[in-house]
Structure 1
Amino acid sequence: MPVPHIRLATAEDEEALGRLDRAAWSPLHAVQPRPQPPYEPFFGERFGPRDHLVAELDGVLVGYIKLGFPTPLACNAHVRQIQGLVVAEQARGAGVGRSLLRAARERARSLGARRITLRVLGHNAPARALYESEGFVVEGVLPGEFLLEGRYVDDVLMGRSL
C-alpha cells in the first residue's frame, strides 16, 4: 500500500478540498446540515491554505486536516486545535488519517505549541479510536451538546501534550 504524501495546502487545492469535504459529509462527524449548492468557498477569511495539511496518494488529494487556535486569546496561543479531519472513503484504512494526525502534531510543535486538542462527536467511534491510539485522551464531555437527526449527541473534548 502506498504511503500518503503530506504537505501544506495551496490555493490551487481549494476546488479539490471542497469536493472532498462535500463527498465525505456524514452525520457521524458533521454538526452542520449537508452542504447544498451554491457551495461556499472552502478557504475563507478565518482559515486558508496555511491552516490545512493535505494528504495525497499517487498524486490524488485524499484527505486534509485543519489546524487552528482554540480561542483568539494570547494566553491560549500555546495550544493548537484540530478543527477538521477528512479522509476520502476510498482511502480509508490506508493510514491517511494517522499520517495527517502525526503531521499536524509536528506542525503544531514547529509553530511553538505545547498542546494539541480536538473535539469529536461521542458516537464517532472510529475517529475516537484513532485519536486514542495516537495519544489523545478524553479531557471532558459535554453531554447531549448537539441534536443530530433526532438524537442528542455528546461533544467529547480530547487533547495531548506535544
Structure 2
Amino acid sequence: MSLSHIRPARHTDEAALGALDRDTWSPLHAVQPRPKPPYDPFFDANHRPEDFLVAEDIAEDGEGTITGYIRLIPPTPLACNRHVRQIQGLAVAVNARGGGIARALLRASFDEARRQGAVRMTLRVLGHNTPARTLYESEGFAVEGVLPGEFWLEGRYVDDVMMGRSLTP
C-alpha cells in the first residue's frame, strides 16, 4: 500500500523527472523529437524546480516514487500579464495512469497559481490529444483559440489548441 501526495519539486528529483519525461514521450503531446542520449538536464535556467509540482507515491517503508509532474509558470515576463499562470507540461507515469494523478496535479496547480496571485490559467494542447482535452474541459478549461495546422507531426498537420479558465469563484 502507498500514499500519494503532491509536493513542490526539489533539485534531487532531477533524475527521476528526466526519466519520467523520457518514458512518457509521445507524438500525442510532444512537438519535439523523441529524446536521445546524451540527455539534456531536466532542470535548467528556464525549467527550475520551483516551477514544478510532483506527484509522489510514498511506500510503507518511506521510499518515494515520482509518478507525475506539472509545470506552472507565468506565460510572459510582462507585469501586465502577471495575473496569469500557464501550464507548460503535464506528465503521468504510464503505470500510474487512470488513478486521478493528472487531475490531482491540475487541482494542486490551481491552488498554487492562486497562492502566487493568479486569477487565470492557460495552456496549449495538441488538437489530436483527445484524452488531455477531455481532462482539461472537465476541470473547467474552455477552448479560447485554435491555430489550425500549426505543427507537422508524423506526416500530418496538427492544430495547436489554446485553452483557459478563471481561477476565481
Same fold (TM over 0.5): yes
Deviations 1:49-106 (A, max 9, x none): 1000000123210000000111121111110000000000000000000000000000
* Alpha carbons 1:55, 1:62 under 8 Å: kept: yes
Aligned residues with identical type, % of pairs: 70
Aligned residue in 1 for 2:144: 139
Distance (Å, rounded) in 2 between the aligned partners of 1:77 and 1:39: 32
Aligned residue in 1 for 2:116: 111
Aligned residue in 2 for 1:18: 18
* Alpha carbons 1:4, 1:95 under 8 Å: kept: no
The structure that has the greater radius of gyration is 2
Q: TM-score, normalised by structure 2?
A: 0.93
* Alpha carbons 1:4, 1:99 under 8 Å: kept: no
Deviations 1:121-142 (A, max 9, x none): 0000000000000000000100
Note the C-alpha offset of 1:9.
0.2
Deviations 1:28-53 (A, max 9, x none): 00000000111000000012110000
Structural RMSD (CA): 1.1
Q: TM-score, normalised by structure 1?
A: 0.97
Instruction: Please list every run of 5 or more consecutive structure 2 residues that lacks an aligned counterpart in the other structure.
Output: 59-63
Aligned residue in 2 for 1:130: 135
SS of corresponding position for 1:4: strand
Note the C-alpha offset of 1:3.
5.7
Aligned residue in 2 for 1:87: 92
